[in-house]
Structure 1
Amino acid sequence: MAGAAAQAGCAAEEDGSRSLFEVERMAFVAAGSAQLPFEAAAGADYGSSVDLLVDRFEVAREDWAHWTGAPPEPDGLSTGLAYTGAGRETWPAFASFHQAREFAQLRGMRLPTAREWLWIAAGPRALEYPWGVLPQASVANTLELDLRRPVAVGTFEQGRSPNGCYDLAGNVAEWVELDGMTLGQGLMPLFDVETAVMGGSYLSKLRPLFGREPGSTRQRIAGEVLTPGTRGVELGLRCVADAESFLLDTSGEWRDVPDARERLERLGQRWGTPARPLLERIADPSDPRDPLNWLLEGARP
């Protein structure tokens, strides 16, 4: 019995360590909204009604293997880039829309909506690019670099968004849930049988998150409408979660991780002021071992 209890304790610690590792790789994005800054999209607001936890990195092939038991399946794809071997574990995973949605659910997360994805990438200042207002061809894996293949997630440090998310432009395009936002050519309405990817990939040229099409007066949002069964090495994903429910559901797993307090305080420092109102609401001040208090300690100035 003692041996079984010890094994159970080790398993719980291992689960807690993985859970803590994953939340350390998330950004905190506070709820809010903004308006697209052009007349053609009057009324096209974007944002999130809830605080979000967002993968800072596109889901990598090693992440996919951890949760599903195997790397993404290359069958049906003609390119050799679909095969995962030495050195490719940190390349982005690839999936159809349905596969991406199921993977997110395995993690207790979900795919972002189109409006949420744009809020993550453009933020409240309506940045034209995830890193700012000016195009920079050297900070994202787009066609300008002529690599014509994925690279390890998080490679382009200078291409980070202000909230700390990598590869929102280039590397692989990211599946989103449709929520009525119009994307792509001509701001055409979308149908229920379609879905979309956003952010572009190594096979597309760098383009602003929204703006006028070259040589045209028409405005567009940087996304492509696709049928949900489409697969390609250039189509990947990034997961999000409602911050409050995710933290309440998972934070108890971190109590017995040996260095949890130190790590959570550092994470709270990175999340900073935007996370404080939520953490002050959900942390238990009567419990000094509540991991949410450790996050809050870090988030305080």
Structure 2
Amino acid sequence: MLKSMTGFGISEYKDAKRTLRVELRSVNNRFLKIDSRLPDALQAFECKIEKSIREKINRGTVLVSVNYQSLLQESEYVLNCARLKEYYRLLSDVKKEIGSREKISVNTLTMLPGVLQKNKNNDEDANALLSICVSLVDDALTKMLHMREIEGRHLEEEIEQRKTGILVMLDKIEVRSPVVVQEYSKRLQSRVASLLAGTNLELTDSNLCREIALFADRCDISEEISRLKSHLYQLQETIRLNEPVGRKLDFLVQEMFRETNTMCSKANDSIMLRDLVEVKTEIEKIREQIFNIE
């Protein structure tokens, strides 16, 4: 089953403490690239947030956007008043003993160890926030993957249609190929007869046959048609595999172009060239769709 690299998923959460919104967007890329835009509270957990995305997606650029809003006003640090008073008492006792008149600065006291402490509630909130965020990412990822699968089915249908059209045109070209040689033979005989009219010169049938055989050999595209058909059948089998196949399909399309270009250089017939140009056009349209496949 084909999967597109284009998709979108969104998931939201809200309670009395916070609101959280996760958006995932994916677009084309030859490799996997994740661009995460996280709030400060989740910056340290980027790898954990991206883990499920890396496990389930092989190619594409994925934009992870997390919007977080706290509904509570809590300080990042809290003041340990008991420890501050203890420091003040000790310093006051020392001042009396040494007879110092220097004032004890509150600013100085707050810089002493243990006076300003990190709010434990913030650590607990960060872990809870991470858990919620990972759950939202998984939910948004499921939605995005579903969208990529739907788009992949549409791509598969279009590629199948174009593949069928190319095979029909190749059948026409295959039928036309021997006719080209026959027409060349008639033109050659007519041209030679016209040029030798009124002279005593004669061109033997063996000479004509040799020239026609050389022309037929130069214009023979049967091998190229056979290989191109083989690539088309491989294309059909590949798009039905249950795995990422974008790179395999890209390689097959390159080979299809090569065979078609060879046929164009060999074809010495306007009708065949017109059909071959149409074949190249259809292959190009297939390649455009493959750019979107994971």
Q: Do they superpose with TM above 0.5?
A: no
Q: Which has the larger radius of gyration?
A: 2
Query: TM-score by structure 1 length?
Result: 0.20
Whose RCO is larger (CA < 8 A, sep 6+)?
Answer: 2
Query: TM-score by structure 2 length?
Result: 0.20
Which of the two has greater helix per residue? 2
